Amino acid sequence: MITSMLRQLCQNSNFLLVILIALTLVTVSGVAGAILPAGVGTYPSLADTTIDTLAEGLARNDFTSVDLQKSTPDALLIASMLDYERAVGNTRGSLHGIPLLLKDNIATFDTGSWALVGAKVSHDATVVEKLRLAGAIILGKTSLSEWADWRSLNSNNGWSARNGQVSDPYFRNEDPWGSSSGSGVASTLGLALASVGTETDGSIISPASFKNLVGIKPTVGLTSRHLVIPVREHQDTIGPLARNVKDAAYILQAIAGVDPRDNYTSAIPGHKAPDYLTAYKTSRLSGRRIGIPRNVISLLADDTTGPMMNAFEDAVKVMKRAGAIIVEDTDFPTATEFWDSPLSTRILNADFVVNLRTYLTSLPTRDTGLWDGALSNWNNTDPRFWPAYQQLLYYGEEGGLLGAIKRHALDAVVLPANFAPDWAAAAGSPIVTVPMGSYPAGVSVTKDSWGMVESAPNIPEVTLIGTAYAFEQRTMARNKVRPYLSPRIDLMDVVSNA
């Protein structure tokens, strides 16, 4: 059903891109951090560099792929091979020799949770195969909220038994949000050029929001989920977290495409992903119809969201000055009903028990007997599942995001990032999140039930990507705030000591 639905909705390939823009506000600590310089001479700062800048330096032989990473022997060997390929004129593409990190639920042959120790896969996940083919160097894995935040009703974001608690680099002890929490922290600090995360409902968009990053949550089916630990097949998707829109699109270009091992990807129009690299024009906002579902904002805003909404309204003005047509009150008719309904969680649970069992069965070596016994409740083969799923689709489609786009002939919908994930998740639709500013001085520090900071003073696919790029280039909000904590060694130090 989902495949045929996507085919119907994707007659125009722009559907893969044109849905939701989420704008983000970050928290920045008043504590001075180790701020790295912008770069000296031919050596860019890894905390702020871009794929284009690194590619130019590699092409001039200012530095090598080996210089960009000094981690594991495997990665060093791969970097040396890629440097040789470049030297003899064989450059694979824009990611050739670029170091990336993966969320720890994406399988690699050269391998969370302690429950999967020893469960080595026979080959890489499809998105990893694609990244390696494009020349990317996989440095390693990033910590995540254990089981992608689907392990407990009383657990905090960014915690796993293997790696402990991840926290945010912009404010001490800030909630990192998740579940791609480690991917977000690593990307914003420049521990790799960017990272790849997964999202079921907010797990790319939320950490990108709190890390001052661009996150792209693709349409479900645009990127293969093969050998990615599943939560919900109807919503799971894989996408990049990067420091700018263009870098995120480079990575999406590399990982998107049809995979016979994930039948959802067969719905991609023409069985080929669009060329996202044609989207970079600052004029992309001009003439775009961008809707604001004010009833969603009214439903979710409270006495803590004032600074965020002020920044959001300023961002809308930027879009308007750039020629965008702002369409007010493009409301989601079922917003309140959907928000109050337990249906989304019920459907997610039903998918999870079957999807996880299927994944565990595929592992060549495993000791998961306890899990096998537990995964036997209400699932997506139950007669109750299908009508419940149809109701959830209605909330996301005609009664929600897609219906608003259709009724008002919109190119995109814009919301604060905190308010965005659920509506797109229900329909399997894409989101791009872009920084819009930081919380002002004087905002009270608020903490969640685990004592992690939620807000504080100074907290900083083609049409959709193009629109996000045009907004980013007009504001460059990411550059206006800095983490309180940064690496103290940069590329210049590595090359100088080589």
> Looking at the annotation, which residues are catalytic?
103, 179, 203
**Cβ-contact 297, 415 below 8 angstroms:** yes
Distance between CA 32 and CA 26 in Å, rounded?
Answer: 16
Distance between CA 162 and CA 36 in Å, rounded?
Answer: 30
3-state helix, strand, coil in the chain (%, to 5): 40, 15, 45
Helices (H), 60-204: 65-68, 73-87, 126-133, 146-149, 181-189
Residue type, 119: A
Tokens read off for 318: 């930027």
Residue type, 287: G
For tokens 């685990």, what's the residue? 450
Distance between CA 268 and CA 251 in Å, rounded?
Answer: 17
**Cβ-contact 31, 249 below 8 angstroms:** no
Instruction: Give the residue among 476, 492, 481 at the shortest CA–CA distance from 46.
Output: 492
DSSP 65: H
